[in-house]
Amino acid sequence: QQPPKRRFLGRGDIEVSFEFFPPKNQAMEETLWRAIRRLEPLRPKYVSVTYGAGGSTRERTHATVARILSETTLIPAAHLTCVNATKEEVDEIIRDYWDLGVRNLVALRGDPPEGVGERYVPTPGGYENAAALVAGIKSIAPFVTSVACYPEKHPESPSVEADIDMLKAKVDAGADGAITQFFFDNEVYFRYLDRVRAAGIDIPIIPGLIPINNFKQAASFAKRSGASVPDWVERRFEGLEEDSETRHLVAAAVAAEQVLGLVDQGITSFHFYTLNRADLVYATCHLLGLRPAKAFSQKADEASEPAKIAKVAS
Ligand code: FAD
């Protein structure tokens, strides 16, 4: 079989979104904002901000979303979970976001406060799962609402079929799009896409991609979330634990291989789990043909204008 002819795509062909997590302290806040400022000129469709496990970052998620809304040109999407909150409490958060001007949400059930792997028990008086939360959101305001989906099935799910039934319930409740759990083998995504479409689900299923900055960390995330790590990915990072320079170059090559493999098969929308770091994501977006918007380079030129004049005058 001939490999598909590689095309060069660019703005207008490709759509990206970036996911960040709310910072815990001042140093993390600075790291996050460096990443946001670096990625902003690529004009993502939206940027999303996660909600901490057990609903632990309610205020920090809100504060980050509010700052993105007021200080950047970006469209924020707030993640929201059902954990540790009654319907009334969640509904209040939803209304607050609408009043603030937020129009995009990512609706999730969340994990048990005791941690992933424990049995999930809905909070008494709370939303029981993501489908119920989507219905609740849509009954309050017409947010563009994304949900999660799992190409290798959710760890609690007895089968891929049962998992796809849950996705169907989220779509029936009004979900506008789904973001996948990350995966490393594109075949996993395409197989899943076939099954989702065969089940009559027609919303966008956006691949969620995690550039591997740190293989050990990525493997541990994968273990917790039921995503498999193919041997060949592991082998690529073998022996590079102490060699950050080579690891970084290999990481860029691995990310490029995955994303261009998806493009070759006609995929044009991507969601990046940035882990609040911009470099690999920025490079991958560059390969996707995305370039900083003119307005930003003009702004940068304007900002350096006085410096240039001062240089000429001296
Ligand atoms: P649901 O869709 O409600 O359920 C997940 C699975 O559980 C189903 O697919 C099904 O297998 C099973 N299940 C649930 N209810 C039933 C039922 N009634 N009958 C049978 N099976 C059932 N977590 C956070 O805490 N904060 C975040 O910001 C966050 N962001 C995420 C973003 C993305 C893109 C992804 C993929 C995950 C994210 N998560 C986040 C993790 C997520 O909360 C967990 O994976 C959680 O365990 C399931 O959430 P869900 O919304 O997929 O749940």
pLDDT over 70, % of the chain: 90
pLDDT, one tens digit per residue, over 217-228 is: 999 999 988 899
- Report the nearest atom of ligand 1 relative to the CA of 133: 3
Closest CA to 84 of 62, 116, 111, 46: 111
| pLDDT above 50 (res 301) | yes
307, amino acid identity = A
DSSP string across 168-202 = HHHHHTT--EEEEPP-S-HHHHHHHHHHHHHTT--
Q: Is the CB of 50 under 6 A from ligand 1?
A: yes
ipTM: 0.96
Phi/psi at 13 (5° precision): -95, -35
Q: Rounded to an integer, what distance in angstroms lies between the CA atom of residue 122 and that of residue 120?
A: 6
3-state SS assignment for residue 70: helix
Q: What is the SS3 assignment for 22-38?
A: CCCCHHHHHHHHHHHHH
Q: Rounded to an integer, what distance in angstroms lies between the CA atom of residue 160 and that of residue 194?
A: 12
pLDDT, one tens digit per residue, over 69-114 is: 999 999 999 999 999 999 999 999 999 999 999 999 999 999 887 7
pLDDT, one tens digit per residue, over 240-298 is: 999 999 999 999 999 999 999 999 999 999 999 999 999 999 999 999 999 998 877 66
Closest CA to 231 of 215, 243, 246: 215
| pLDDT above 60 (res 312) | no
pLDDT at 314: 36
**Cβ atoms within 10 A of the Cβ of 1, count?**
3
pLDDT at 313: 41
Hey, what are 73's tokens? 């040109």
**Cα of 149 to ligand 1 centre, how many Å?**
8
- Report the nearest atom of ligand 1 relative to the CA of 150: 36
**Cα of 132 to ligand 1 centre, how many Å?**
12
pLDDT over 90, % of the chain: 79
pLDDT at 189: 98
Element of type H or E holding 301: helix 294-313
Q: Rounded to an integer, what distance in angstroms lies between the CA atom of residue 264 and that of residue 261?
A: 5
Q: Is the CB of 19 under 6 A from ligand 1?
A: no
- Report the nearest atom of ligand 1 relative to the CA of 157: 11
pLDDT at 300: 61
Residue among 17, 62, 109 to mutate when testing ligand 1 (max atoms within 8 A of CB): 109
3-state SS assignment for residue 164: helix
Confidence of residue 307 (pLDDT cuts 50, 70, 90): very low
Top-confidence range, 50-54, 116-120, 259-263: 259-263
**Cα of 193 to ligand 1 centre, how many Å?**
18
Q: Is the CB of 80 under 6 A from ligand 1?
A: no
pLDDT at 304: 55
**Cα of 293 to ligand 1 centre, how many Å?**
35
Q: 19 catalytic, yes or no? A: yes
Mean pLDDT of 182-210: 97
